[in-house]
Structure 1
Amino acid sequence: MKLKRSTSKRVPLGRKYKIQKKVAQHRRKIKKIVSKSVILKNRKPKILKIPNSWPFKEQMLNEIIEKQENIKLEKEQRRKNMKEEVQIKEQDKKLSEIMQIDEVKKSKLTNLDDLYEDAIIRQGKFEENSTIEDINDNEVADSSRRVFLRDLRKLIEVSDIILEILDARDPLGYRCHDLERSIVGQGKKLILIINKVDLVPSEVAMRWLIYLRREFPTLAFKSAINSSSDHGVNQVKGNGLGVSEEFLKTSSAAFGTSALMSLIKNYARCGDKSRSVTVGIIGYPNVGKSSLVNSLKRSCSVKIGATAGITRQLQYIDLDSTTQLVDSPGVVFTGNSTDPINILRNTVQLTNVKDYFDPINVLLEKASREVLLKLYRLPDFNDTHDFLTSVARSRGKLNKGGVPDTNTAAMIVLSDWFTGKIPFYTLPPDLDQQEKSSISVVSNWSEEFKLDDLFTDNNLNVL
């Protein structure tokens, strides 16, 4: 029977000292053998010196220096050749990956719709009979935008009335004139909605209403803040006459719903009463389209949020037995979603922004310096980097070593800009005589919509 080996390291002291003695003897023996053996130590190579008496010494030295320089040049050339070979291999690898991706995409095109979308991407144009071909979607490579534009065309086709939602702080920046001309050209009724009127002074909102009503019917609106709750949506009761500016800014109730509903009902009465009225809602991302739907429905019918891109497809909501609302995804009509101006319009999520410097630089040009200094309790700053550094220090956003985190500071400033903590608004431009004489849309619709009474009520609500 094999004895179990003990795992303990405890040994008698006699055995311990005996082992140490034998180890010491073994080391002395090895050291003695090494010292007796002939082992050449590493020595530096001897420098061969040329005697001064040799007549060709200078010529020999020049040849040696020339050889050394040639060796250096050869090494550098070899390094360059190796780098070029590596770059060529990387390019070939990328090309092969792109070709493989294209082959995979082609293999996935199984139906006519996929083939049609692939043809659109490759040819860079839409259908010849499209009425919104003026919108240049070839500037954007994102396939989701092309899908949104296709949904937009479908929405215009099925809608009788189209609501274009504008931000009260910059209504002209949220308009798309090519799209408006296309809508009117198809015989659709277009209504402009100035949303978020609580973020601008009442006088500014009134001036924008007067300016925009020269082109299209325009109403002021404010969505309910608590529209995502389960208890429904609060609204200003009655016609909202005598609502003060302080109440408009502090109240969470919806504002402008009665005027908008009356406008839609007036059109339904004038049209064919046997069919329902379809109201399409369009606008930039995160301008308040879904919040307007919830305010009209008085319930959380569609999902909303503070970030852009929550609505990904057309949503049909029955307002009543004769009225249907169609909510659409937000589309950036001008430029790219990564442009600084569009970033300030909250058309892209902050986590997807790669460079915060440009949008903050544009923000500093638009916002008041005194307001920023007071809001963030900062000393006077010289440039954008100095401003972000001061904000990071005042908010305690520091990286390792006490370095200010300017990216986090930029996200804080942009969030305050989106929510209206940083006040900003634009004023309407003055119309010249040519523009005044060319505007006749509202006068043609005034009888059908009964605009005079509705505009009067909505104006009193704003003031």
Structure 2
Amino acid sequence: MKVGKPQSKRTPVRLRHKIQKASAAKQKKARKDAKKNPEWRSRLKKDPGIPNLFPFKNKLLEEIEESKRQKEAEKLRRQELAKAQRQGLTIEANDAEAAELEGEDEELLDLADEDGEEMVDDGDDSNPMAALLASARARAAEYEQEASGDEMDEDEWSGLDEEEDESTVAPKKDSSRKAFDKAFKSVIESSDVVLYVLDARDPDGTRSREVERQIMSAASGSKRLILVLNKIDLIPSPILKDWLRHLRRSFPTIPLRASTPSSNARTFDHKALTVKGTSETLFRALKTYAHASSLKRAITVGVIGYPNVGKSSVINALTSRLGNQKTSCPVGAEAGVTTSLREVKIDNKLKLIDSPGIVFPSASSSSKVSDTLSNVANGSDRHAEDKARLILLNAVAPKEIEDPIPAVTLLLRRLGSTQEGMQKLLDVYGLPPLMSKDGDYTTDFLVQVARKRGRLGKGGVPNIYAAGMTVVTDWWAGRVQGWVEPPKDGESSSGVGDQKEVVKEWSKEFKLEGLWGDDEVKETEMEVEK
């Protein structure tokens, strides 16, 4: 039988291309389905471990366990060493100083013995070495008394720090609240004009009546205070006009757009109130006051306010008004970027001082002190509400936020006062109307946000904490629209009171009249005269 010729295994080009296209289409569909799948999958590849067929697997596992044990032991040893160093630092320093003094005493005694009996017989008055020895012993005794007093002071001060840590919500990195208060007083004392920067979305929440009183009473009332309403692009024009009308009853107020918003922020266009226009207006007002003042030196302008209201951005807007892209002060989306005073010189007539953000007692919190004292049972609720308010003001760093749910609850309460505000919030995340049987809309809202944004844990369980941080971050960036309504006519102001004469006089000094239209100024003056 004749064996046939072996057939070729060559694949036709048409069939090979068909297989490649089908494979590419299948992979594309798999990737698309994976993106639509809401279940969270980590992109980090897991360690496959040591294969069972590896000849020395047991030995390698023992070496790995031994290495882990040694690392843990080394870590514990370092912790104990650091703890011992912290506790024994003062004791070691005192022992070292005492040893030095004892060494000096021994040297002096040796010198005295070597000098002979003649110098000893002369008496203490005629013996300089004996007098020096007595002085050294007196210094040693005095040092021991000071060291014991310092230890007592440190124990007392540590207790005060613990109390401040419990009562203070603002983040503290390297500086304490006492240092921030000292910096604030330094700014007030050295400034001729104080710019009080407020958040346009919640001006009363970022104001402090006590701060305004301190500025007005400093230097016999010779200092000038101007309220700067920043982030005006995040509120509509009617709300902006109402807030300006309300704030100008107490102090001259300037609207300002210090910087451009973040990506995907939902902003409002106020026509002439641009970054360049508002910064140039504020700069001209300060220069007018500087030229009109009789001082032979440059006037100092201090910038104060809550953390992350835009104090450094205000200074950068003033320094970059001529197209200079260099920033004089560092800025960031988190609170606590500015930790110390920073002086920026504009020219020979104007100097600016940037200060760290301090959480002052606001008007809303100070007005509720009596209620808190009368109802101690609600103290924890009041503390949680104040912390939620600070989180919405971006006065707390993200790593310091333990629970964002109270802040989301407060945000839903604010936006839920109007149907339009709640609908805008739901449209941002593409959610249906909230439904809740027990009245807890926050949980239902966060569960839906977690499913929409893929904030899911193992088994597809919604991560409420991650969803809450997502909502808070969107609120900080302006992607969620919302604001506090200004007080109605007749309600008391959160400032020091109605000051018609102060507003008129200071507005003339800075020439703030007619900067944004005569109609608005006349309307404001009519409201002030009422």
- With structure 2 as the length reference, what TM-score do the two structures score? 0.56
- Corresponding letter in the other structure for 2:406: D
CA-to-aligned-CA distance 1:28-50 (integer Å, 9 cap, x gap): xxxxxxxxxxxxxxxxxxxxxxx
Moved more, 325-334 or 265-274: 265-274
Q: 1:419 aligns with which of 466, 470, 477?
A: 477
Secondary structure, counterpart of 2:226 in structure 1: strand
Q: Quick check: which one's helix share is greater? A: 2
Shift of 1:107: 8.5
CA 1:155–1:167 in structure 2 vs 1: closer, same or farther (change >3 Å)? same
Within 2, Cα distance between the matches of 1:347 and 1:199?
Answer: 18
Within 2, Cα distance between the matches of 1:420 and 1:120?
Answer: 45
- Corresponding letter in the other structure for 2:458: K
Q: 2:389 aligns with which of 338, 341, 364?
A: 341
**1:45 corresponds to which residue?**
none
**2:316 corresponds to which residue?**
294
Shift of 1:443: 2.3
Secondary structure, counterpart of 1:214 in structure 2: coil
CA 1:379–1:222 in structure 2 vs 1: closer, same or farther (change >3 Å)? same
* Residues 131-280 of structure 1: pairs in structure 2 closer than 5 A: 139-140=167-168, 144-186=176-218, 187=221, 188-225=223-260, 246=269, 253-280=275-302
Shift of 1:253: 4.0
CA-to-aligned-CA distance 1:315-359 (integer Å, 9 cap, x gap): 101112211110111011137797111111001122221112111
Moved more, 405-414 or 99-108: 99-108
Contact 1:215 1:439 in 2 (8 A): yes
Over the residues paired in the alignment, what is the CA RMSD in angstroms?
Answer: 3.8
CA 1:214–1:395 in structure 2 vs 1: closer, same or farther (change >3 Å)? same
Q: 1:365 aligns with which of 413, 418, 423?
A: 413
Secondary structure, counterpart of 1:370 in structure 2: helix
Within 2, Cα distance between the matches of 1:373 and 1:105?
Answer: 58
- Corresponding letter in the other structure for 2:292: C
- With structure 1 as the length reference, what TM-score do the two structures score? 0.64
- Corresponding letter in the other structure for 1:427: E
Within 1, Cα distance between the matches of 2:232 and 2:93?
Answer: 48
Secondary structure, counterpart of 1:219 in structure 2: strand
**1:400 corresponds to which residue?**
458
Contact 2:414 2:484 in 1 (8 A): no
Contact 1:225 1:252 in 2 (8 A): no
Structure 1, gaps ≥5 residues long: 1-8, 10-96, 126-135, 228-243
Within 2, Cα distance between the matches of 1:121 and 1:271?
Answer: 44
Shift of 1:103: 7.1
* Residues 314-393 of structure 1: pairs in structure 2 closer than 5 A: 314-334=341-361, 339-367=387-415, 368-381=421-434, 382=436, 383-393=441-451
Aligned length: 335
What's the % identity of the aligned pairs? 37
- Corresponding letter in the other structure for 1:453: G
Secondary structure, counterpart of 1:451 in structure 2: coil
Contact 2:257 2:274 in 1 (8 A): no
Within the alignment, does 1:441 sit opposite 2:502 as a pair?
yes
Shift of 1:145: 2.1
- Corresponding letter in the other structure for 1:378: L
Within 1, Cα distance between the matches of 2:88 and 2:501?
Answer: 54
Contact 2:198 2:207 in 1 (8 A): yes
Within 2, Cα distance between the matches of 1:324 and 1:458?
Answer: 33
**2:511 corresponds to which residue?**
450
Structure 2, gaps ≥5 residues long: 1-54, 56-81, 95-142, 321-325, 366-382, 416-420, 522-530
**1:233 corresponds to which residue?**
none
Within 1, Cα distance between the matches of 2:156 and 2:244?
Answer: 40
Moved more, 361-370 or 142-151: 142-151
Contact 2:256 2:275 in 1 (8 A): no
Secondary structure, counterpart of 2:513 in structure 1: helix
Shift of 1:262: 1.8
Within 1, Cα distance between the matches of 2:425 and 2:411?
Answer: 11
Shift of 1:246: 3.0
Within the alignment, does 1:428 sit opposite 2:486 as a pair?
yes
CA 1:394–1:108 in structure 2 vs 1: closer, same or farther (change >3 Å)? farther
Contact 2:404 2:472 in 1 (8 A): no
- Corresponding letter in the other structure for 1:224: S
Within 2, Cα distance between the matches of 1:256 and 1:270?
Answer: 21
- Corresponding letter in the other structure for 1:160: D
CA 1:124–1:439 in structure 2 vs 1: closer, same or farther (change >3 Å)? farther
Shift of 1:190: 0.4
Contact 2:306 2:360 in 1 (8 A): yes
CA-to-aligned-CA distance 1:394-420 (integer Å, 9 cap, x gap): 111211111112211111111111112
**2:370 corresponds to which residue?**
none
**2:126 corresponds to which residue?**
none
Moved more, 156-165 or 370-379: 370-379
Contact 1:215 1:440 in 2 (8 A): no
